């Protein structure tokens, strides 16, 4: 930043009062992040949950006010670390947790990649019948399902479609009736 006599009175005032509109964006950003989020997959470590404004609707991504407009919080931090994403690319979540802004959980891809990724994560095991159908899930998937439903607001019906299981199966997971890890003593 330029130093010396070229600052106007108002910019000098802003520099003396860091709470003004020109605060460092990263500092403002970090104030809204809870770094003790859930661990959805052990190898990823904990999610960093956006505690500020969330987008309405199915995918509750964090919203961050930056350069005069609302941007996706996870995209902001991804671009801060990695540089601006090319046209058509988005920051996607390894953890499938929309309000997560942990840069280590983000990767670049197209919206189509995102859709394919969701389908692949949900489509693993073949097999029919109640037992086998239930075995299509895992503890990790169950965690993701619960978070998608509670935080992301994804409906049971949609989750059933993504994971190719019955709505009853998803409802049992969401209500902690199945796929609950025994608590460590
Ligand atoms: Zn995460």
* Residue, of 38 and 51, whose pLDDT is higher: 51
* pLDDT one-digit tens code per residue, 128-170: 333 444 567 777 778 788 888 887 778 899 888 877 789 999 9
Residue 5 has pLDDT above 60, yes or no: no
Taking the centre of ligand 1 as the mean of its atom positions, its distance from the CA of residue 147, in whole angstroms, is 11
Q: Which of 34-48, 52-66, 118-132 has the lowest mean pLDDT?
A: 118-132
Predicted local distance difference test score (pLDDT) of residue 89: 84
Cα dihedral sign, 144-149-153-159 = positive
Taking the centre of ligand 1 as the mean of its atom positions, its distance from the CA of residue 91, in whole angstroms, is 12
Taking the centre of ligand 1 as the mean of its atom positions, its distance from the CA of residue 132, in whole angstroms, is 29
Alpha helix stretches (DSSP H) within the chain: 9-16, 25-30, 73-82, 111-122, 130-134, 139-150, 156-163, 167-174
Distance between CA 30 and CA 77 in Å, rounded?
10
Taking the centre of ligand 1 as the mean of its atom positions, its distance from the CA of residue 110, in whole angstroms, is 18
Residue 66 has pLDDT above 80, yes or no: yes
Backbone angles phi, psi at 5, to 5 degrees: -95, 5
Give yes or no for a contact between 7 and 15, defined as CB atoms under 8 angstroms apart: yes
Predicted local distance difference test score (pLDDT) of residue 10: 53
Taking the centre of ligand 1 as the mean of its atom positions, its distance from the CA of residue 89, in whole angstroms, is 19
Ion ligand 1 neighbours, Cβ < 5 Å: 47, 95, 97, 100, 102, 105
Taking the centre of ligand 1 as the mean of its atom positions, its distance from the CA of residue 69, in whole angstroms, is 24
Residue 1 has pLDDT above 50, yes or no: no
Distance between CA 39 and CA 59 in Å, rounded?
19
Q: What is the 3-state secondary structure (H, E, C) of 19-47?
A: CCCCCCHHHHHHCCEECCCCCCCHHHCCC
Taking the centre of ligand 1 as the mean of its atom positions, its distance from the CA of residue 68, in whole angstroms, is 27
Taking the centre of ligand 1 as the mean of its atom positions, its distance from the CA of residue 153, in whole angstroms, is 16
């Amino acid at each position: 930043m330029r130093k010396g006599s070229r600052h106007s009175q108002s910019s000098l005032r802003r520099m003396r009062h860091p709470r003004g509109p020109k605060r460092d964006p990263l500092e403002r950003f970090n104030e809204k992040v809870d770094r003790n989020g859930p661990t959805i997959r052990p190898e990823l470590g904990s999610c960093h949950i956006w505690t500020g404004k969330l987008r309405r609707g199915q995918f509750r991504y964090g919203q961050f006010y930056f350069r005069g407009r609302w941007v996706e919080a996870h995209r902001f931090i991804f671009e801060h670390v990695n540089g601006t994403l090319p046209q058509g690319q988005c920051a996607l979540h390894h953890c499938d947790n929309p309000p997560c802004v942990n840069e280590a959980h983000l990767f670049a891809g197209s919206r189509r990649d995102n859709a394919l990724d969701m389908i692949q994560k949900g489509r693993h095991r073949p097999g029919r019948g109640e037992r086998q159908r239930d075995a299509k899930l895992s503890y990790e998937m169950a965690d993701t399902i619960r978070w998608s439903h509670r935080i992301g607001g994804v409906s049971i019906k949609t989750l059933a479609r993504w994971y190719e299981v019955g709505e009853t199966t998803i409802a049992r997971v969401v209500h902690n009736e199945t796929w609950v890890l025994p608590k460590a003593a």
